[in-house]
Amino acid sequence: MPDWKKEVASRLAGLKVDPVREAEICEELAQHFEDRYQELLRGGATHEEAYQATQAEWGQGGKLMDELRRVEHMVKREPVAWGAQMGRNLIAGLTYDVRNAFRSLVRARWFAVGAALTFALGIGVNVAVFSSVDRTLFRALPYDHPDEIFVMGEYESGTDRTYGTMLASYVIESRHLSGVVDGCVAGFTDPYSTSREPGEETRIRLTDVSFNTLTVFGIRPFMGRDFTKEDAQANRKEALISYDLWRGRFNGAPDIIGRILWASGKPCEIVGVLPADFIPASSILDPMRTSDGLALESDTLESASPGARWYRPILRLKASVSSAAVEAGINSRVEHLKQTEPAPRPGAAKLVIRLVPLRTILFGSYASYLWLIVAAAALVLVVACANLASLLLVRGRSREHQAAVRVALGASASRLMRTAVVESLMLSFVGTLIGLLALVWASKELQVLIPPVFSRYAAPVYDTRVIGFSILAATLSALLAGILPCLRLAKVDVLSALQHVAGRGRAGRLRGGRSLLAAEAAVSVVLVAGAMMTVRSLIGLVSTDVGFKPEGLYFVTVLLPSVQDPQTRYQQYMQVLEVVRDLHGVKQAGAADVLPIRGDTGNRFGPGFGRGAYRWQVTNGFFETTGMRLIAGRTFSSADLARPGSVGILSEMGLHLVWPGLQPAEAVGRMLEFPGEAPRQVIGVVSDVRASYSQTPWPSLYVPVSPERIRFLMFVARAQTGAALSVSELRNSVRERIAAPTSASIRYVPDQFSSGLLDQKFRTLLFSTFGIVALLLAAVGLYAVGSFEVAMRRFEMGLRMSLGATPGNLQLLVIREALGPVVVGVSVGLICTYWAAKFLQSFLYKVDVRDPVLYVFVALVLVATATLAAWLPARRAAKTDPIVALREL
Amino acid sequence: MILSLIEGRPRHGYEISKLIEQRSRGTVRFYVASLYPLLYRLEKRGWIKGRWVEKAGQRRRRYYRLTVEGRVVLAAQRRGWKAFVDAINRITGIEHA
């Protein structure tokens, strides 16, 4: 029997392929011959006949070797016409594109770095903003069917003014409405019951809620159990603590259930832990206040007395009913109730019940502010994309020759476009990665700058939605930046591109680039104007006279155990004042029943006066300690304290309120008369004070403290330079000299002003950054396009010079042409700013958003920046050597 | 032709050559010199994939199967072939029933 393997091997000698491959071919072919040979034998042929017939399979001599050699040495080549196999192998095509784009970007590494950083900036800003506003603006609240949850409130008809509380009888009525899910009306109290663990300095703040609160929200505790009706009825003290409190203060202890907390001075058992994303229930009134959990309110609606006042209840409506129908139902029942009220409240007739979606209550008041930031961030991205589009356009134009060669070799337009898009995508994704890394790196530093409205509900960078947004933003901006250059590339004129090289008199203008520059300038104007407005607002704010001297001033609060006798109470608090005066480092101290400089509202100015004008009871030394300016007359002496009903001091606005037009000096000595009160002599006029820069001062009347009219006193102390007051010293001294205080605290007054400024500072910083970034990007874009055009028009410049143009003429020519689109853009931008300014107005302090001076200034800044950016290429144009330029022809 | 033969299941070289011979009733015959270079070429193009398979009591054989890409190519070629045959039929006057 023939050895086919040996025969095949001898015939294939000299094939020059990998030995393993050669062995495989040998085996396969030998098997074929073997099969054929065996078949012929089975068909009745003799060995000799079968061998001869099988040998005939070799065909013509050498053919197999030739064919095999051709196949085995075949190199898998990329087809000349790029994209020819696109439909057949998408992944391979893309891999090729990515490789190609990577190589070309490595070659142009400075361009790549600049473009990636621009993307990083534009996308990073937007990702940061998105992660901060996602939960407040876009994401559904973390409750079951959150759209069905509403907050019920009593509003003044036709306005948005509402009261914190409402009658329990109204809440009880709402339970019987058919549109409300059974048992889904939950009540809250606010302010919370605050408490401190014995021996602990930090307070735990719990919101008192009705037992069915989690049922209304449609959530389960993260750990432990929910409150029950039985517990509420049995008046058990129970708490559901927040996830943060559990993780932080209790170090995530697994045995937390059953531990005891102190709430309102009573032991309270922890029955569960709330889910991590539960928005504190105290946030019904203000989502920016923190709550450490919920405490069970023993008052169920069944046991509530109809006359009691409840905080705004939360209710869940059935999916099929509209809130308007339920609202109408409640109002008709409430109308009925009002008629049966024994003593109608003043103004009650004007009050209506409204159901407001939970999201609106939580974040509605912040929405316009948040949208403003979102819009500003989006504009930065638009500028970044426009900038990149112009850079890519310049790059595309300089690579037209290469593109033309590819088209000549058979590449389709779509193939060329795909290459450009892949390049743009690669840049944007690298940029996004840089942006995200920068955000992770800087997140701690950013937290300090960001006001609570952003930081409290900010999602981390690794959140799926944030990553999804980043990918979306990267893709969109890559397409936005890449589309124009792509279209230009698709229209490349092969013949003309192959015939010319850069600088040889081909039309030097960059089509599309100028429109981009105009767009960039327009958006930059809006952002720069926004920056200037916020800066002016901040300067206006911090330079506002607050009417007193906050530096070195402290608020001192001491609460003593309650005493029934007013005289004893007065004496005790006056002793505390002495203690404060004797504290180490205190220079001066004074006291008042309520502090106007803390933003608290006082008692009514006088009989017949409504809200907005107040009367404050102060001790001697109060004005001197706070640093309030005395405008006329004198301040209270200790003798005045002995006759509190007979003297008073007016603030400037207070003077204007009672005697409009009267000079302060003329008011001193006059008698102030209120019905039902003894006449009071005005002994002085002091400056108006504000508790924050943006607050409008209240018309005020200051009177000496009267023992009968105070429940406690609040103190102010001015420290000696460099001294800091000690709260433990305060507590010990009060304990030694009077009684153990129920609470004692010291707060530095300027902190109140800086925390009030946080929002303004952040806004200013944000808009200034946006403005500067936009300005820089616009300048870079202009410079790039200008440089490119100058390079492309070298021949023209040379020709002009040889015909007698001076370098100055050429500079002027380049700058004039560069400024054309900028002027158009600035004009459009100013119109847009004028229109958009009304959205910014409510966030600004004493800034006229339609001030023409501001607009002129913004226009000048833009034009000056553009001139500078155009001047650099213009200088290069002016240095053109006509001989060298013309020789290139 | 080869692609369509291995569309249903993988086959080895000799089986393919026999099938061509049988189905064309001897009209078309592939010799070793043309069959195997063709198979290797198709494999290099990624349309088919060969794999050594060992079966009990037999020597190992190299079976060829159609790749996804090969399937796409086969479909395209079938369409082209059909159009061509239709055109020829129309020219030569043979009408479909």
Q: DSSP string of A632-682?
A: EE----HHHHTSTTTEEEEEHHHHHHHSTT--HHHHTTPEE--TTS--EEE
Asked whether the beta carbons of residue A32 and residue B13 sit closer than 8 angstroms, the reply is yes
Size of interface A-B (CB pairs under 8 A): 60
Within a domain: residue B61? yes
Residue length of chain B: 97
Above pLDDT 70, what percent of chain A?
88
Q: Which two tokens stand for residue A367?
A: 């929405």
Give residue-wise pLDDT tens across range A443-480: 777 777 777 667 777 788 788 888 899 899 888 888 88
Asked whether the beta carbons of residue B14 and residue A32 sit closer than 8 angstroms, the reply is yes
**Residue of B40, B52, B72 lying closest to A72 (CB–CB):** B40
CA distance A44 to chain B (A): 18
Set of chain B residues whose Cβ sits within 8 Å of the Cβ of A88: 69, 72-73
Q: Dihedral of CA A752/A758/A759/A764: which sign?
A: positive
Distance, CA of A624 to CA of A287 (rounded, Å):
38
CATH value at residue B46: 1.10.10.10
Residue to substitute from B16, B18, B40, interface A, most A β-carbons within 10 A: B40
**Residue of B31, B44, B61 lying closest to A76 (CB–CB):** B44
Within 10 angstroms of residue A551's Cβ, the number of other Cβ atoms is 12
Asked whether the beta carbons of residue A63 and residue B62 sit closer than 8 angstroms, the reply is no
Within a domain: residue B74? yes
Residue to substitute from A58, A88, A89, A91, interface B, most B β-carbons within 10 A: A88
Q: Which two tokens stand for residue A555?
A: 């608020």
Peptide bond into A221 cis (omega under 30): no
Set of chain B residues whose Cβ sits within 8 Å of the Cβ of A70: 37
By CA distance, what is B14's nearest residue in A? Answer: A32
Q: What is the pLDDT of residue A590?
A: 92
Set of chain A residues whose Cβ sits within 8 Å of the Cβ of B13: 28, 31-32
Give Cβ neighbours of residue A247 (< 8 Å, ≥ 6 apart): none
CB of A628 within 8 A of CB of A650? Answer: no
Torsion-angle region of A689 (φ positive above 0: left; ψ -120 to 50: alpha; else: beta): beta
Query: Which residues in B have their CB inside 8 Å of a CB on A?
Result: 12-14, 17, 31-34, 36-37, 40-41, 44, 46, 52, 59, 61-62, 69, 72-73
In terms of residue numbers, what domain contains B24? 2-92
Set of chain A residues whose Cβ sits within 8 Å of the Cβ of B40: 68, 71-72
**Residue of B13, B33, B41 lying closest to A28 (CB–CB):** B13
Distance, CA of B65 to CA of B10 (rounded, Å):
4
CB of A827 within 8 A of CB of A521? Answer: no
3-state secondary structure A279-299: CCHHHHCCCCCCCCEEEECCC
Give Cβ neighbours of residue A263 (< 8 Å, ≥ 6 apart): A193, A195, A204, A206, A237, A239, A295
Set of chain B residues whose Cβ sits within 8 Å of the Cβ of A59: 31-34
Give Cβ neighbours of residue A768 (< 8 Å, ≥ 6 apart): A531, A534, A535
Q: What is the pLDDT of residue A349?
A: 64
**Residue of B12, B33, B40 lying closest to A63 (CB–CB):** B33
Set of chain A residues whose Cβ sits within 8 Å of the Cβ of B33: 57-60, 63-64, 67
Asked whether the beta carbons of residue B32 and residue A29 sit closer than 8 angstroms, the reply is yes
Asked whether the beta carbons of residue A68 and residue B13 sit closer than 8 angstroms, the reply is no
Q: Which two tokens stand for residue A830?
A: 């100013």
Question: Furthest-apart CA pair in chain B: how many Å?
Answer: 54
CA distance B71 to chain A (A): 11
- The full DSSP string for A152-208 is EEEEETTSS-B-SEEEHHHHHHHHT-TTEEEEEEE-B-SS-EEEE-TT-SSEEEEEE
Cα distance from N-terminal residue to C-terminal residue, chain B: 26
Scanning A653-692 for CB atoms below 8 A from B yields none
Set of chain A residues whose Cβ sits within 8 Å of the Cβ of B72: 88
CB of A546 within 8 A of CB of A596? Answer: no
Asked whether the beta carbons of residue A29 and residue B36 sit closer than 8 angstroms, the reply is yes
Within a domain: residue B48? yes
| Amino acid identity for residue A358 in this structure | L
Give residue-wise pLDDT tens across range A126-150: 888 888 888 888 888 888 888 888 8
Asked whether the beta carbons of residue B17 and residue A32 sit closer than 8 angstroms, the reply is yes
By CA distance, what is A88's nearest residue in B? Answer: B69
3-state secondary structure A265-276: CEEEEEEEECCC
| Amino acid identity for residue B14 in this structure | Y
By CA distance, what is A75's nearest residue in B? Answer: B44
CB of A402 within 8 A of CB of A501? Answer: no
CA-wise closest residue to B29 among B19, B39, B37? B19
When divided into structural domains, chain B yields a total of: 1
- DSSP state letter for B24: T
Q: What is the pLDDT of residue A202?
A: 59
Set of chain B residues whose Cβ sits within 8 Å of the Cβ of A27: 62
Torsion-angle region of B57 (φ positive above 0: left; ψ -120 to 50: alpha; else: beta): left
How high is the ipTM of this complex? Answer: 0.90
CB of A204 within 8 A of CB of A292? Answer: yes
Within a domain: residue B43? yes
* C-alpha to C-alpha distances, A394 to A117, A174, A360, A380, A789, nearest whole angstrom: 18, 67, 48, 21, 9
> b/e for A757-780, b at 16 or more Cβ within 10 A?
bebbbbbbbbbbbbbebbbbbbbb
Q: What is the pLDDT of residue A344?
A: 57
Q: Is A18 on the interface with B (CB under 8 A)?
A: no
Question: Furthest-apart CA pair in chain A: how many Å?
Answer: 146
Q: What is the pLDDT of residue A147?
A: 86
Asked whether the beta carbons of residue A57 and residue B13 sit closer than 8 angstroms, the reply is no
Set of chain A residues whose Cβ sits within 8 Å of the Cβ of B46: 89
Residue to substitute from B3, B30, B32, B41, interface A, most A β-carbons within 10 A: B32
Q: What is the pLDDT of residue B11?
A: 92
**Residue of A24, A25, A59 lying closest to B31 (CB–CB):** A59
CB of A760 within 8 A of CB of A744? Answer: no
CA-wise closest residue to A179 among A319, A44, A274, A32? A319
CB of A358 within 8 A of CB of A217? Answer: no
Within a domain: residue B97? no
Q: Is A59 on the interface with B (CB under 8 A)?
A: yes
pLDDT beyond 50 at B62: yes
Distance, CA of A595 to CA of A716 (rounded, Å):
9
Within a domain: residue B68? yes
* C-alpha to C-alpha distances, A233 to A176, A214, A306, nearest whole angstrom: 21, 17, 17
* Burial class (CB within 10 angstroms; exposed 0-12, middle 13-18, buried 19+) of A3: exposed
Within a domain: residue B7? yes
Q: Where are the domains of chain A?
A: 4-72, 146-364, 366-542+757-887, 561-741
Asked whether the beta carbons of residue B37 and residue A89 sit closer than 8 angstroms, the reply is no
Q: What is the pLDDT of residue A433?
A: 92
Give residue-wise pLDDT tens across range A158-199: 777 776 667 777 777 777 777 777 667 776 655 455 555 555
Asked whether the beta carbons of residue A58 and residue B32 sit closer than 8 angstroms, the reply is yes
Q: Give the angle A430-A433-A434 at the CA atoms, nearest 5°.
A: 90
CA distance B43 to chain A (A): 10
> b/e for A493-505, b at 16 or more Cβ within 10 A?
eeeebeebebbeb
Q: What is the pLDDT of residue A216?
A: 84
> b/e for A404-442, b at 16 or more Cβ within 10 A?
bebbeeebbbebbbbbbbbbbbbbbbbbbbbbbebbeee
**Residue of A27, A57, A70 lying closest to B32 (CB–CB):** A57
Residue A362, CA atoms < 13 Å, CB-side half-sphere: 23
Q: Which residues of chain A have pLDDT under 50?
A: 77-87, 191, 201, 281-284, 502-506
Distance, CA of A826 to CA of A858 (rounded, Å):
9
Q: What is the pLDDT of residue A137?
A: 85
Q: What is the pLDDT of residue A505?
A: 44
Q: What is the pLDDT of residue A255?
A: 87
Q: Which two tokens stand for residue A41?
A: 């034998």
- The full DSSP string for A375-410 is HHHHHHHHHHHHHHHHHHHHHHHHTHHHHHHHHHTT
Set of chain A residues whose Cβ sits within 8 Å of the Cβ of B52: 24
CA-wise closest residue to A700 among A710, A679, A686, A711? A686
Within a domain: residue B46? yes
Q: What is the pLDDT of residue A506?
A: 47
